[in-house]
Amino acid sequence: MFSTLKPLPTDPILGLMAAFKQDTNPNKIDLGVGVYKDEQGNTTVLRAVKKAEAFRLENETTKTYIGLAGNLDFCQKMEHQLLGEHPALLANRVRTAQAPGGTGALRVAAEFIKRCNTDATVWVTTPTWANHISLFEAAGLTVKEYPYYDYENKNLRFDDMIATLKTVPKGDIVLLHACCHNPSGMDLNAEQWQVVAELAKEVGFTPLIDIAYQGFGSGLDVDAAGLRLLAATVEELIICSSCSKNFGLYRERVGACTVIAKDAAQADVSNSVMLSVVRSIYSMPPAHGADIVATILGSTELTQEWHQELDEMRGRINEYRGLIKTRLAQAGVAQDFSFIERQHGMFSFLGINKAQIERLRDEYAIYMVGSSRVNIAGINHNNIDYFVKAMVEVLK
């Protein structure tokens, strides 16, 4: 049976990771992998996480299963982090299942959508996180794209986006990035979110919100403002969230799939279907990461410390957005990189061509995705001079 299999191409990000590890250049810079890095280039464990882990190690009393929905305390606290004191919560319209990471949450959402409407199409931004398409197609869903990022002008194609969304059939799904759009870093503003929310209600498509970077853009509440507006406008909403970035819990795989229904009764039915999906995929989620998050959010002291650390991470990213733009201009680069400051989160397209990307990798050991998407957090005070010098050379 195995002899019929054909080798598949390596995921570009995984290929970059392997090539970077093998590179012996002492000045090498990894701008490809989407994880936060500090000034020393490390993805360290947050102080609040360390304290929560120590508490868990001391107080954990069992290793039994935690149930299909996972840690219910975690689920409740995630709902409040996402929605605040939202009317949907007060009306008991919200149900959440813990999932193995944001990717696991998206797969649960995909299978849930398939159960709701076998003919549903999922509409995603052009471009979007590459794995979005694979996840939905693996669940047997059709995927189509709608205009989003303007590569030439380094902005949103908002008018084109709205024109396309007006044609989406009722009952289809529209995927929206709540903040820190991956891979472009270009987000909707408050007025644009209002237009999208009203259109969703008018047309009848169901929004699916991917919020993997809450707190990395402008702050926890601001980054969830579009999501909360949609929840107040439409009757049905699906949210996929992740704790990988804002809690630094990448390898612990902590996420959640949240559904908002039109009333409590329909929310119960939706929850039963969602948990059936969970049972058929992985049965029950792991406990460790969700316990850490629940412990932090359940402690005023640890929550304050986490907020401080999150502010530090967001501040560093925003500092380097401005610094990259300024340093390239000071070095005499004619190309305008001011768009980097208008974006949010870890990612940005540099807008350089394939030959320039290859030169950066081959001559300077600077690694980025072939689309020119870079992880801003990969730049620090130790390597920014080298990065700017290399950019000056390849842009000549």
Q: Looking at 51, 77, 154, 245, which residue is catalytic?
A: 245
Q: Looking at 123, 129, 193, 306, which residue is catalytic?
A: 129
SS3 241: strand
CB atoms within 10 A of CB 307: 15
Annotated catalytic residue 389: no
Answer for the pair 38, 320: CB distance below 8 angstroms, yes or no: no
Annotated catalytic residue 245: yes
Tell me how far apart the 2 most distant CA atoms of the chain are, in Å.
63
Give the DSSP H or E segment for 45: none
In degrees, rounded to 5, the angle at the alpha carbon of residue 245 between the alpha carbons of residues 244 and 247 is 75
- For every residue of 197-236, DSSP letters joined together read HHHHHHH-PEEEEEES-TTSSS-HHHHTHHHHHHHHH-S-
Answer for the pair 206, 237: CB distance below 8 angstroms, yes or no: yes
233-242 per-residue burial string, b: 16 or more CB within 10 A, e: under 16: bbebbbbbbb
Give the DSSP H or E segment for 79: helix 72-83
Q: Looking at 30, 210, 223, 291, which residue is catalytic?
A: 210
Annotated catalytic residue 263: no
Give the amino acid at 12: P
SS3 44: coil
Residue 271 φ/ψ, nearest 5 degrees: -65, -40
CA distances to 55, 135, 300 from 106, rounded to whole Å, are 30, 7, 30
Answer for the pair 34, 181: CB distance below 8 angstroms, yes or no: no
Which residue do the tokens 């999501």 mark? 227
Rounded distance between C-alpha atoms, residue 203 and residue 226, angstroms: 18
Which residue do the tokens 């004191």 mark? 85
Q: Which residues pair with 388 in a beta bridge?
A: none
Q: Which two tokens stand for residue 381?
A: 């005070």
List, by residue number, the catalytic residues: 129, 210, 245
